[in-house]
Amino acid sequence: MLDSLKASYTDLSNANRIESIISDCRKFGYFYPDEIISLIDETLKEVRDAGNRKAEVQLLFQKIYIVSDAYSDLETSKELSYYVLKNLPATTDEQIQLLDFIARTHLANSELIEAQHIYQDALKRLKKIKTPYSIAHTNVYWGVAVTYSESQNYQKSSDYYKKCLDQAQHQNQHFMAACCFQNLADNSRKMGEWKLARHYLDSAQRSLKTISNDSDRVISEMGLFNAYGDFYKSIEKLDSAEIFLKKAIRLGEKYDDFFTKSYAMHSLGSVYLEQNRLDEAEDLLLESDELFKTRTPALLVTNSRYLYELYKKKGMYDEALKWHETYTALSDSVQKVQHVKTIAQATAKYEGELKDKTIDLLKKEKIVEAQSKEKYRRQWQIIVVLLLLTLSIGAFYINHTRHQKNKTKIINQVLGEERERTRISMDLHDGVCSQISTISRLVKNSDSDQDESWRENVAEKLDNLNLEVRDISHNLSLIKYDQKNPFQHIVEDYINDLRASIPIDFTVEFKPEDEHIYLESNRELVLFRVIQEICNNAIKYSQTAKMDFVFEKNGQNLIASISDYGTGFDESDYGNGIRNIFERIEFLNGKVQLDTNSSGTTFTINLPLKKTELKEK
């Protein structure tokens, strides 16, 4: 192949020959990397001797591409990129592409922070490029999207993939467009947006047909088969997932593509695991594990977990424990997600205890079988049944008692808080407020020689202080319960008070409008305080300009949705206030769903209504 290429350059001028060599490197580099690298090295010697530094940069770029994509040798790719940056006159466009190569190496080594810093540098350099569309734009947007995806910010990642897609479509980069569609589909799948994921996959399929370069088309097709396999696996259409993953394996073997083959085997093994085709799953997962060790260590984490689950299903607990330890160790070393470590440690402890108990039980059963005494075996069976029954009854009693204690604790806490609120409110109203009013009147009616403006200023400040203390008193005071007064009126009164004092757009909606909601007094109190807590948190911390309250009486349930449009917060790091919300709604036998991101926060409360609360008063 190399000889035939060299022969094609014989009749070309020197400039055209160099240009043809660079073009052939792009065309054949992925499929014939050894031959093309040899051709590049020979040509590099020639252009260096001739002092053609521009051609040297272009040839080194092709070598970096081949080393990175065909060999997956990212360290060598990084070294070559630094060499070009430091020693050769690269354009701004080329400098940005070299930064992209370096950042890719950091990503492959799970050095996410370093990659993010380099891509931020590249984004700044993009501003120096006059044209709005370039390969540099495409590569940087792609890299930034990958960093956000690795940090599990899939929405932000999708935003940059869309920018990359826009670049690719304007530059007729059909291969890159297909890759963007595939990754948009993957992000949508991870966010549970199945229809959108399928739309992006079908768009990738259409883009695939427009790719003219054979190598790019094959690479895109291999990635698309894996993407379809992951999609169908996520929506539990395992037969369809199997079809696409087998296609990916066949293409990977045909074109000797390591990643496509190993990833597809890994995914197909997980499909077989869910289908309980354990022997087939074992063969695929073990083989993919060996392949991942050589070139893709990050995927070893998931593969180890699948093998752990497989051997647990097979009842091979020693093997399961070994793979669980491997999974835990890899999770710690790769440092993918911090909370995975906590879960893995807790799971390891639980599975260790379960393993010991299971092995002990199996030993006892084997002893019973060896003794071959029917009566003795039956006695053990009776003992085991009685033991399990006793443990079940005991566990039920303990859980029931604990639940009742928690109920009592919560209601006492709520009532205690209300008593204290009422006491403080009365003290403020009857004591402090009356004294402030008295002082205000004395100042206003004073005949002293003090300056009139001074007295008016003092009186005004005392009046303002009086109003503020009354507001505090009103907010602390117990809401007035009247079985003839529906819950809607209590909420509307509260929201009206907020509208009068806080510059936030509050909207309240009750469905259906003509059907009132009546709750038992204690339950009404707990629910009202939960709504108050959610509202106070949003006002204090979210920086929202709007809040929506929707209350819907749906059959035998009351569904309350409270939304703000602020900054959101980290669900894994909430405090006692949020925890109290969950505990109090659980006390009412209800459920709370929390959805929060950078666009806002929504609490959805589903509260079962008692029979007495379903009747119109």
* Digit-coded pLDDT (tens) for 166-188: 999 999 999 999 999 999 999 99
As a whole number, mean pLDDT of residues 196-205 equals 93
**Residue 354 confidence (pLDDT):** 55
Q: What confidence category does residue 154 fall into, taking pLDDT thresholds of 50, 70 and 90?
A: very high
DSSP state of 538: I
**Residue 476 confidence (pLDDT):** 54
**Residue 163 confidence (pLDDT):** 94
As a whole number, mean pLDDT of residues 186-196 equals 92
CA proximity to 140, closest of 152, 128, 155: 128
The C-alpha R_g of the chain, in whole angstroms, comes to 34
Q: What confidence category does residue 90 fall into, taking pLDDT thresholds of 50, 70 and 90?
A: confident
591-597 vs 557-564, strand pairing mode: unpaired
* DSSP character string of 465-478: HHHHHHHHHHHHSP
Question: What's the pTM value of the predicted model, to 2 decimals?
Answer: 0.47
Q: Please write the tens of the pLDDT for every residue from 107-123.
A: 877 788 888 888 998 88
At residue 564, what is the residue type?
Answer: D
pLDDT at 560 over 50: yes
**Residue 471 confidence (pLDDT):** 56
- 422: tokens are 């009422």
**Residue 252 confidence (pLDDT):** 86
pLDDT at 338 over 50: no
Name the least confident of 16-30, 423-437, 582-596.
423-437
Q: Please write the tens of the pLDDT for every residue from 518-532.
A: 888 888 888 998 999
**Residue 335 confidence (pLDDT):** 52
**Residue 349 confidence (pLDDT):** 47
Q: Which H helix or E strand runs over 526?
A: helix 521-537
How far apart, in whole angstroms, are the C-alpha atoms of residue 222 and residue 458? 80
Q: What confidence category does residue 345 fall into, taking pLDDT thresholds of 50, 70 and 90?
A: very low
How far apart, in whole angstroms, are the C-alpha atoms of residue 340 and residue 162? 30
**Residue 53 confidence (pLDDT):** 83
Greatest mean pLDDT among 95-109, 133-147, 428-442: 133-147
How far apart, in whole angstroms, are the C-alpha atoms of residue 539 and residue 11? 77
How far apart, in whole angstroms, are the C-alpha atoms of residue 290 and residue 297? 10
Query: In sequence order, what are the beta bridge partners of 546?
Result: 505
How far apart, in whole angstroms, are the C-alpha atoms of residue 446 and residue 442? 6
pLDDT at 300 over 90: no
Q: What confidence category does residue 287 fall into, taking pLDDT thresholds of 50, 70 and 90?
A: confident
pLDDT at 566 over 80: yes
140 vs 12, residue with greater confidence: 140
